[in-house]
Structure 1
Amino acid sequence: MELRAVRCFVEVADAGTVTAGAERLGVGQPAVTRQIQQLERQLRIRLFDREDGRLRLTSAGRDVLPVARRLLRQAEDVSTAARGVAAGRLQHVRLVAPGTTRDDVLAPWVATWGADAPLPRIDEAQVDGIYQTLRRGADLVVAPVAPPRDFASSIVAELGLWAYVAPTHPWASREGIDLTELADADLLLLERSFHARRIFDGSMNAAGLGVEPTAQFGSPVVAQAVAASGRGVCVLTDDPRFGLVPLAIHDNEGRALTVRLHAAWQRGHHAAATLERLAGDLASFTRERYGRGR
């Protein structure tokens, strides 16, 4: 079935005559007649009856007409979407990030988007293998590990790794803490699947210090809740909750521990330029929200 024939049918039905329908379409009357006859043969129904020099829709024609209108609208939607793809635009964008990054970075960022921005979907994925989601339909991945070199990428944030303590903790009046002091503390740490935990363990090992947590958690929120109850010091990159006080963690050379966030996308993505602009906007957002290291 050709869309041209369907369009002729709809225009003639609206205009009431073949002549008027042909004028609307900007084609000759014989061509319109042939298109409608061809459509009737394909559908095996009669669409019009002639009455007093005008065309009147048959019962079958009245049933088919709304479906034909819907088909033309859908065809136009396809054309519009294809033009957007060709121009590198995105109507929808699928973002993928670990849970902490999703909740503390991407969700607040998306909240600043306008109505003309792509409609976002944000999925959670574990750090290990997260960039493989770009080959399974994700548009933009934001993660605390560097992507493989075959992806386009940029650094969008450098977030602090914090030691959180309750307001009643002896350290609560301080601004920072070093690794040696933390080694003797009651540590409430995330499980080793979290990149923040790996950064902390690596820094402790580099300083010649062992890591013996009092407890380990699969949820940053629960870790903070336990710290807020006065049971120890939790170490993570998440935004503070429950009134916890953040302390910057410094290595033996006095440098603050941080976690870099990378944004990555497929180099051959039809909207690669748009994704690059989104990554730049995310970098601007994190600088304004956190500054360097927060």
Structure 2
Amino acid sequence: MPSDRHPAAPRVLAGAVSPLTADLVHGPRRTAEVLATGRVGTYLRVGERVLPVLGPDAVALPTALRVVDALDPAGLHAGAAVLVGGGEVVLPSVTVTAARTWRPARVPTGRLGPDDGRVASLLEAATTAAPAWLVDGVTAAATATDPDPATRSLVGRGPGLTPSGDDALAGALLLRRAAGMPDADLAAAVRRRLGATTAVSAALLEGALDGWATPDVVALVTAVARADAAAVTTLLPAVLAVGHTSGRDLVTGLAATLAVLAPTGRIAA
């Protein structure tokens, strides 16, 4: 006897795509590889680039396809194949459509404001647990005539999808942009080492090279450059809460770079 039951229609969720990756989502349909997946979303390798597909609990990464509802991780694991293109991302248990576009945050190019030491003190106090190699590496990368050795010691060093060295370098690159003091040699050195870290972290470093970051990070970096101690005090907790140590490591990069760009004469504890 034929069954009256039919397979359930695939779940469809509306998403908002970043203009930085809209070409991937709206381009020709092709197979993408799952790099990593977790409670807040999944990261896909599409060609040579990374597309984060993130739920509402994830930080707003600048290249993300953002979804207002939680994603079902069923059938998702590293190495799995999914489809991207034609305005949607087809996952095993859900299809995400790019219904609209959202604007990612970018650090504005500016200059350093006069700091009486309060901002430097706030950053130092927030990063007392940072490993010495991280502070020394960022300082060397910011001061050496040839930043390649220091960059080699940082990129890819540390555990997780975004190693500590990468997070600290991202902070350094973002603050240099906000201060109006870009370092072309450092940027070139970082670009040469992108293959030495995870694909996810390389994508975030590439974004930082052009000033892109999460809204909380952009706001903090801008406040540091403007020497706005009150704003730094307000914004620090949200950034420090990112990841296991990612937020702290990024702030370590800010602290070490600020000490180079605007030395106060104080000696960090």
TM-score for both structures, normalised by structure 1: 0.22
Query: Which structure carries more strand by proportion?
Result: 1
Instruction: Report the structure number with the largest CA radius of gyration.
Output: 1
